[in-house]
Every structure is written in structure tokens, then in C-alpha cells.
């Protein structure tokens, strides 16, 4: 069983879209997939056309010892089953304040004999639910739009993954960064991609998710881009990202290194500043995206 969390502490990075389409791509390729919405705001659940979910028909079931995994109230979607979210998660969160409350989800999915892959969608914040997802997972994917705030959120999320790995879940691997909403025409996007690839090296996925009208479109209940527009840019990008992700997971299981892994940045390392504030490349740190602004040797990324 492969367990994945999709996280970024900054919202608006394509996290929910990535969860849906990675799950759908895995399902269409033959895997039995469960997608769990652990975000109390229920964005993923609503994107799939599901509203007014009762508490006992939601992901709250993972936090009830009386409910067996085989009895989870899942919904069937194209390519995967869904355990939807409900706003009642917010109310329950107030009582999940013991150190052992990060173990609920891990204990629940240990009963699984149905699914090959479980994906968790999480809120854009550190909550007991996002910690439950990471403690239960072997891998984390951090979707990141190559812009200032999403990059900061991605780096903070990577620090949270490191903390969980060191203190709570030694089976958790270093995170994979997935660029989303990439527009190759934007200089800022190119510079932040260069910054992330230089700093995190092999942890950054080669595949990127480009801006795509097919992904921005509103779909009917339960549809994904694979049903509506299977030959679109968005469908191709998520199919390729899924293939690469599964190869990375197989490599990790076989301890096959991709490239030398850099040391994680210190928690107090200065974050990159917005590119618009960089007026003099001579004063930029070599580890900052500003360093590439006046670098004539910088490679241009391929057109989207």
C-alpha cells in the first residue's frame, strides 16, 4: 500500500486539483485508489460536486474507533473512491489535543486490504488533520506555483515534513515538489523554478503542470480532466506527473538514488524575497532566486 499526502501551507497552489488528478490518473492506470479529504473547508469534496455531507458519512469516520476501515462511507468517482469532508471536522478538532491524536488515521488505514494507494488532501495550514495525514504517509507531494508566497509555503511545508519524519514517522520520505500553474512566459516563474531546483535538486519533480484552460474549467459532478478533455495539456501533464511520481516511489522503495540529496535548509534560513524587490543582482544571496536575475548563463525554460 502506498500512502501519499498532498500538502502546502499556502493555499491557491493547485493542491486540491493535484490530489484529484493524481488520484484519477492512478485509478485509470489500474490502481485501486482512495482519496481522503481531510480539509475541514471541504474544497475537494465540493469540487467533485458533493455537498451537505453528514458527519457519519465523512472522513470523521477515521477518528471513530467504532468504525472499521471496510465500513468507511466512501463515494465512487471516476478512477477512485472518495471519503468526503465535512465542516464538522472543525468542531471535532477542538477535542483532538492529546499527543496521541496524530495517530488516528495511521491506525485506521492499517486495516486496509482494499486499496493500493491512499491520497490525503489537507488544509493549507498545520492542523491535527494534516499531521495525521503525514504520520500515516510514506510520501508527501508539495504542489508549488513558482511565485513568492507559494514557494515560502512550500519551504515551510518541507520543514514540517522533516519534523514529522524525525519525531513521529521515520518511514516518511523527504517531500517531492511539483510545480503547478507554470507559465513559461513569466520571468518570475522561471527564476523561482531555478531557485527551487538549485536548492532542492532531485526533490523537485521534472514534470511540471502548466497553465491550462482544461484545468481551470468548472466540471460537472465527479468529472476530472481525463473524462472531459483527455487529450488536453492538463490531462497530459498530470498523466506524466503521475508516471514520474510512481517511478520515484519505486526508486525510493529500492533505495535507488536519483542525484545527491542536499542538506535541508536551516529553519531560520532567510526566505527568497519577491522578485519585484530585487533591483541589484550584485547584492543577492547565491541561494536566492535573485542570483539568477543578472546571470547571463541562466537557461531559459522550454515554452509551455
What residues contact residue 21 under an 8 Å CB cut-off, 6+ apart?
Answer: 215, 224, 225, 226, 234, 238, 242
Q: Other C-beta atoms within 10 Å of 116: how many?
A: 14
Does 141 reside within a domain?
yes
Does 300 reside within a domain?
no
Does 299 reside within a domain?
no
Compute the mean pLDDT over every residue in the chain, rounded to the nearest whole number: 86
pLDDT for 220 equals 66
Domain that holds residue 229: 2-292
Burial state string for 85-114 with b = 16 or more CB within 10 A and e = fewer than 16: bbebbeebeeebeeeeebbbbbebbeebee
Does 297 reside within a domain?
no
* Cα–Cα distance for residue pair 58/294, rounded to 1 Å: 52
* Cα–Cα distance for residue pair 204/170, rounded to 1 Å: 21
Q: What is the pLDDT of residues 229-269, one digit of tens each?
A: 999 999 999 999 999 999 999 999 876 545 444 444 444 44
Does 302 reside within a domain?
no
Our count of domains for the chain comes to: 1
* Cα–Cα distance for residue pair 52/169, rounded to 1 Å: 34
CATH of the domain at 242: 3.40.50.300
pLDDT for 287 equals 58
Tell whether the model's pLDDT for residue 283 goes beyond 90. Answer: no
Q: Report H helices in 168-292.
A: 187-200, 213-216, 225-228, 233-253
pLDDT for 225 equals 92
* Cα–Cα distance for residue pair 102/96, rounded to 1 Å: 8
Does 298 reside within a domain?
no
Tell me the whole-structure pTM to 2 decimals. Answer: 0.85
Amino acid at each position: 500500500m502506498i500512502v501519499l499526502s498532498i500538502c502546502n501551507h499556502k493555499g491557491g497552489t493547485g493542491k486540491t486539483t493535484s490530489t484529484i488528478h493524481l488520484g484519477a490518473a492512478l485509478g485509470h492506470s489500474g490502481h485501486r485508489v482512495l482519496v481522503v479529504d481531510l480539509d475541514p473547508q471541504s474544497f475537494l469534496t465540493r469540487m467533485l460536486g458533493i455537498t451537505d455531507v453528514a458527519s457519519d458519512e465523512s472522513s470523521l469516520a477515521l477518528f471513530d474507533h467504532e468504525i472499521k476501515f471496510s465500513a468507511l462511507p466512501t463515494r465512487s468517482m471516476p478512477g477512485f473512491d472518495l471519503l468526503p469532508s465535512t465542516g464538522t471536522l472543525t468542531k471535532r478538532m477542538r477535542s483532538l489535543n492529546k499527543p496521541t491524536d496524530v495517530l488516528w488515521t495511521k491506525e485506521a488505514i492499517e486495516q486496509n486490504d482494499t486499496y493500493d494507494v491512499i491520497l490525503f488532501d489537507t488544509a493549507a495550514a498545520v492542523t491535527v488533520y494534516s499531521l495525521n495525514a503525514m504520520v500515516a504517509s510514506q510520501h508527501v507531494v508539495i504542489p508549488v506555483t513558482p511565485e513568492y508566497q507559494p514557494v515560502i509555503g512550500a519551504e515551510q511545508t518541507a520543514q514540517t515534513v522533516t519534523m514529522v519524519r524525525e519525531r513521529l514517522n521515520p518511514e516518511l520520505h523527504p517531500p517531492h515538489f511539483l510545480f503547478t500553474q507554470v507559465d513559461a512566459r513569466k520571468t518570475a516563474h522561471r527564476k523561482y523554478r531555478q531557485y527551487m531546483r538549485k536548492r532542492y535538486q532531485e526533490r523537485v519533480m521534472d514534470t511540471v503542470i502548466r497553465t491550462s484552460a482544461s484545468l481551470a474549467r468548472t466540471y460537472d459532478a465527479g468529472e476530472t480532466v481525463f473524462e472531459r478533455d483527455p487529450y488536453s495539456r492538463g490531462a497530459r501533464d498530470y498523466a506524466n506527473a503521475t508516471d514520474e511520481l510512481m517511478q520515484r516511489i519505486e526508486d525510493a522503495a529500492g533505495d535507488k538514488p536519483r542525484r545527491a540529496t542536499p542538506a535541508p535548509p536551516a529553519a531560520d534560513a532567510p526566505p527568497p524575497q519577491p522578485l519585484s524587490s530585487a533591483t541589484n543582482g550584485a547584492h543577492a544571496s547565491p541561494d536566492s532566486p535573485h542570483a539568477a536575475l543578472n546571470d547571463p548563463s541562466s537557461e531559459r525554460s522550454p515554452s509551455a
